[in-house]
Chains A and B, each alone.
Chain A
């Protein structure tokens, strides 16, 4: 299997505070990975570093097989193979169509293809009826579906999901989980998911990382980690004691 992401001794500080210190991490293509950990453990920072939104201070970072030198042309080329959905996804002022078409138009995709892909993505998420609706007037769950459709429209190799279901009701949450699974299985999209919901990690992820104080405390197959956690802190966290 090819490693899509490789990190060696990657650190990130905000002022005096070290928020990330990852000795080694590899993410392979085609699976769902889950990053777990208490608040402030560095999950989002890790996601932002590997999605090339935040510069690491030290260490070696490889993304999609390339050593990162942060040149604008490299960032653009690599980011165009990735997409991200956050917990309260930002909707641009305008219609659902405008939002979903954004990434395609940025790539100068022909108008006919844009139309087709927007419709296809919205249809998949069951949001086609909202195509001309103002995106900012949608409910939280609907916005998240549009955000996923928007990410899918650009056909990414990697999809980053930062707590995509934390602000929505349980039924929408289950629906989104179903889409995550579908996207991974049908489109072979690698998914890196941050979640606070243990059952979600258990249900979706093949492998998971448990983060603690900026470090990766434990990393392995989800099943193994839930059944036989090695670190006492992982054990406590998975029991819901943190």
Chain B
């Protein structure tokens, strides 16, 4: 119990002390995870909508693969990126290994299936009547499809928040392709691992609390942007 109290205390002290190293690590965590989320969103939302709306040979197989990859172990994602970016790999010439770019690539690999699969699910739950209503009001096919995506936005926001939750808390992939280099590729999660290994349990827990707070603030911003705060009254009334 002492370790937990100590951790809480140390977490708040760390925040208040504005430790330069911690600020750098926190900003890099944000940079890596948010960049990966934006890229996964830019590719994953249209891909998910396409899988939901277009009927083609092999669609079910692709959907199944996407759903399977939603559970892709971070270490495996890291290993794949590592093999591609290492000197002997096909992209070795770019010298990206142990850089934040490599960490972003690995996290995109983890985030993309989540955004794509959950977007596909969200769009698939829409009824035919959404499309029919749009086109009968004079929408073009593209406008009607964009309306379908808009109507699925609660599900898509859920996809993005789920992906962000995974990315910001992920340690295996960023450790493998980033290497946890101080001042260069160290992020909050890899710092926790390092501090724990060094026996600094309270400090590790303190960093963990900062990580949680960060995730909470980002989620709040996303939900606020969607005008759907936790105070939203459009919930199902269970009496």
Q: Which residues of A contact B (CB under 8 A)?
A: 51, 53, 72, 75-76, 79-80, 82-84, 86, 89-90, 92-93, 102-103, 106-107, 150-151, 154, 160
Q: Which residues of B contact A (CB under 8 A)?
A: 127, 129-130, 132-141, 143, 147, 150-151, 153
With A51-B136, A150-B137: A106-B129 Cβ-Cβ less than 8 Å:
no
Residues of B within 8 A of A75 (CB): 135
Q: Is the CB of B138 within 8 A of A79?
A: yes
Q: Is the CB of A72 within 8 A of B137?
A: no
**Complex-state Cα separation, A51 to B132, whole angstroms:** 10
With CB as the reference atom, state the residue of chain A lying closest to B127: A90
With A90-B130, A92-B151, A93-B150: A106-B143 Cβ-Cβ less than 8 Å:
yes
Interface class of chain A by DSSP: mixed
Interface-centre pick from B127, B134, B138, B151 (highest chain A CB count, 10 A):
B138
Give min CB distance, A161 to chain B, whole Å. 12
With CB as the reference atom, state the residue of chain B lying closest to A94: B150
Residues of A within 8 A of B147 (CB): 92, 102
Q: Is the CB of B127 within 8 A of A53?
A: no
Residues of A within 8 A of B135 (CB): 53, 75, 79
Residues of B within 8 A of A103 (CB): 137-139
| 17 A-B pairs in the complex with CB atoms less than 8 angstroms apart | A51-B136, A53-B135, A53-B136, A72-B141, A76-B138, A76-B140, A79-B136, A84-B132, A89-B133, A90-B133, A92-B147, A93-B150, A93-B151, A103-B138, A103-B139, A106-B134, A107-B138
**Complex-state Cα separation, A106 to B142, whole angstroms:** 10
Residues of B within 8 A of A154 (CB): 137-138
Residues of A within 8 A of B139 (CB): 102-103, 106
Give min CB distance, B55 to chain A, whole Å. 14
